[in-house]
Chain A
């Protein structure tokens, strides 16, 4: 039986999209604190304001992250949500789950928490939503002992890495994103669980430039799959697209008219590196920037080249504080070799961290640190030669920070000698 009268919440039970309100009410039959979630939410809908307080520090022994504290600011009215802490579980790479594991997780969370979850948090964690401080240690014990499962990151640490589904079910993935994500997650458990950074640091792994985990938009370090040889062309399948036997975009963008390779592929290529010779498709691969459009439109005919690896972009973040940044290209190409434990990637990561942990300011994301010192300085830190690939265009101001050692004779001069020739 509902504990509170909630006409505003009830309105959100109507309509064709799944209703989180109906779902909360369903769970409330088993976990009565869910009635208080609905009740407090109704109050927020009346007041047009949140009723959650700043968190405070809660966690499990030995970890500095993974749990986020949350308390109601109206606990007398809604005692079921007085404490309502979040537990972040590190999701399996690319979020495949066996149901036996999920069912065990359901039993665990029914016992120790509210029964509500997020599948998933934006960073990728499986989020358990709402529990009391005294439940945290027993929950963690059972999670690690019975489910062999660990917490994710929160605070100024390495946040839980995430990846696209890669080679598991995609024809475009240019490296093994799951292996990279899992490998780095395991290698850097300490950095995930014990905050030692100036601020948060995010890894994301996308297998191609379509970037299905939005790595380039939000991760301090993203590895985005690419290739440096030739797009593989199956000319017979190209003809099948032209004849209409194959549906462009796998049928995902139904057109009103028939497929026009000139209009839909060649004219939309950002570098103009494709053309038809008779009924044969030609690509000048040296001019291709691997944007993926032609592969997306003709997946049966075009495949990524075979010399595959990743481009490393760094410094992406949301707007707080100095404005949003996209990842900036830092390393144009590395091989992503699972057998070599991704050693080229690890070298990039650790060179960056060594510098950033020393030089990053409190609550300064990597992208902001790079802005502060300048990209040329950061490239020197990374021991990467400046390349035209690092910029969209050369700078338009002349304020070059020449260094002492770059100018013959250095910066030290004698003004008295100068005055001997040049009167005041």
Chain B
């Protein structure tokens, strides 16, 4: 049978959801679901999980580029078929995990991976830099202020040894978002690379009538910087358009999301900001936002040397000075941010002083609380 373009709704199947997770499990996972007792990291990138039943699961973690071809995925399938009974998994941070049920199977798997050029770097466990959570950038997005895949490649080439070795005080989670929409949720990362714009949007008066709902474009601005305006085109015709109050613009790009006639990306205006000290887990100090420490670095493809150097400097300064288990933000909080700027040799500017709004800081934003008598 197959799809019939003349009759697209025939035999239509909808709302069936994803494949059921249990059908995807390897036997050792199925047999020991909910029975895991403890784990060890026997070498960088290799985890050993031990079950109450005595069963063991060995996991080899491999960094990936996230942007993957089908030929590459088929190669992953070949490896999983050869070593892992035809099962593989991906982590939240774009790593591939190959699992085997006996220690003797680990060595052949590692040897196989090592024999495939640079495609399967093993690491990303414990006190190492994580693979970089990131967004699309110039490969597929319409609003980016920088690229994603290329910046990540350049940064990870430089930090490679910190991915394959557990030589840091604690884990260090890196993330990149190519604009303030933050599809990559970089606002809680140890070191975040964020694409930012610095020029207000241009107004394409010729096109705005056909492309945008003016009230939506005006309402899109959180600071009221967009006002309605009547504009005379070169043709002499008058159209209803908008004008931008540049003094009020904070370059968030939300107007462009709502109205394609307000482009703001620019080769010189757009670039990268560095934010540090964020954390998601509730361990010790609780979750925290990343803080802006470098307001702007230029877009310098293909290797972004300024950004790579900035990330490396912060990472290695932290690694040198922090206590064991201390994440970047915990270290900065202990020594004080003024000392952070001094040790990292990063100039402090007024751009790091918050002049936006948000006053909910007395609400509890951690799972840390006590079961006192109030909770029934």
Contact = CB atoms under 8 A, between A and B. Distances in A.
Interface stretch (A97-105, A347-355, A402-410, A415-423): A97-105
A171 B36 contact: yes
A371 B170 contact: no
A11 B94 CA distance: 23
A168 B367 contact: no
Contacts of A124: 92
A388 B371 CA distance: 10
A329 B92 contact: no
By DSSP majority rule, is chain B's interface helix, strand, loop, or mixed? loop
Contacts of B141: 50, 52
Contacts of B156: 17
Interface residues of B, number: 147
Contacts of B39: 170-171, 250, 299
Contacts of B144: 50
B306 interface: no
Interface string A174-194: 001010001001100110010
Interface residues of A, number: 158
Contact of A120 (B36, B94, B121, B142): B94
Nearest to B267: A48
A391 interface: yes
A193 B18 CA distance: 13
B303 interface: yes
B295 interface: no
Contacts of B37: 171, 300
A119 B369 contact: no
Nearest to B127: A253
A327 B185 contact: no
A322 B357 contact: yes
Contact of B364 (A30, A186, A213, A392): A392
Interface of B: 2-3, 5, 8-9, 11-26, 29, 33-34, 36-42, 47, 49, 57, 59, 63-74, 76-77, 80-81, 86-92, 94, 96, 99, 118-121, 125-127, 133, 135-144, 147, 149-150, 153-154, 156-157, 160, 163, 166-167, 169-171, 177, 180-185, 187-188, 211, 220, 222, 252, 254, 257, 260, 265-268, 270, 280-287, 289, 299, 301-303, 324-325, 356-358, 360-372, 374-375
Given A90-B18, A149-B18, 15 more contacts: A20-B139, A49-B266, A50-B137, A103-B74, A118-B136, A119-B96, A253-B166, A293-B284, A311-B369, A319-B187, A321-B252, A328-B360, A333-B371, A389-B369, A389-B370
12 contacts: A17-B65, A45-B150, A53-B142, A92-B19, A165-B89, A167-B34, A178-B21, A254-B167, A293-B325, A319-B180, A328-B364, A389-B370
